[in-house]
């Protein structure tokens, strides 16, 4: 094995160990907005045929040392309340505000004042959809936006929060 390959493998092991040790303390809220309780049945050609609850089990198994809390609401005010409450007991938030991403100044203003990082996730590629979906009001206040990778976007968001620390 070439020395650079060994160094690369060692750095990867060290990086994974750092992630694992930090993950032991990490608490992440996954917050889904309107109609995401219908995943698996709502427009499966866009959002897939799998329910979020089914995927959530896989996500928790992928990050066994992370405490993942999940909440879904169709009510904008409940999403605001959950975001504000996340400061007390979470280290990061994965947010899919769904349609509210494009319309909610209240959610955007809440994200902007939080002391925990928020990563916005969209299951579909919003840039390849209707014009009104191509811009998010909330995304500009988030640490980042992940769009178009299906449910895998949630795993990418959790991994980012872990690396970010």
Just list the catalytic residues: 47, 122
Distance CA 113, CA 104 (A): 15
Tokens standing for residue 21: 């040790």
Question: What is the DSSP code string of 45-80?
Answer: HHH-S--HHHHHHHHHHHSTTSEEEEEE-S-HHHHH
Helix axes 76-89 and 105-113, enclosed angle (nearest 10): 10
CB neighbours of residue 164 within 10 Å: 13
Instruction: Decide if 107 contacts 80 (C-beta within 8 A).
Output: yes
SS3 122: strand
């Amino acid at each position: 094995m070439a020395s650079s390959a060994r160094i690369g493998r060692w750095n990867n092991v060290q990086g994974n160990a750092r992630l694992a040790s930090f993950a032991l303390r990490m608490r992440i809220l996954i917050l889904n907005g309107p109609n995401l309780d219908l995943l698996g049945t709502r427009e499966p050609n866009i959002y897939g045929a799998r329910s979020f609850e089914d995927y959530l089990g896989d996500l928790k198994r992928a990050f066994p040392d992370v405490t993942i809390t999940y909440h879904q609401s169709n009510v904008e005010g409940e999403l605001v309340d959950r975001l504000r409450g996340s400061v007390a007991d979470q280290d990061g938030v994965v947010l899919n505000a769904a349609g509210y991403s494009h319309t909610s100044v209240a959610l955007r203003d809440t994200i902007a004042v939080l002391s925990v990082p928020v990563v916005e996730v969209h299951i579909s590629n919003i840039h390849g959809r209707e014009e009104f979906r191509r811009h998010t009001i909330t995304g500009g206040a988030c640490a980042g936006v992940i769009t178009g990778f299906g449910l895998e976007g949630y795993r990418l968001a959790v991994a980012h929060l872990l690396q970010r620390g």
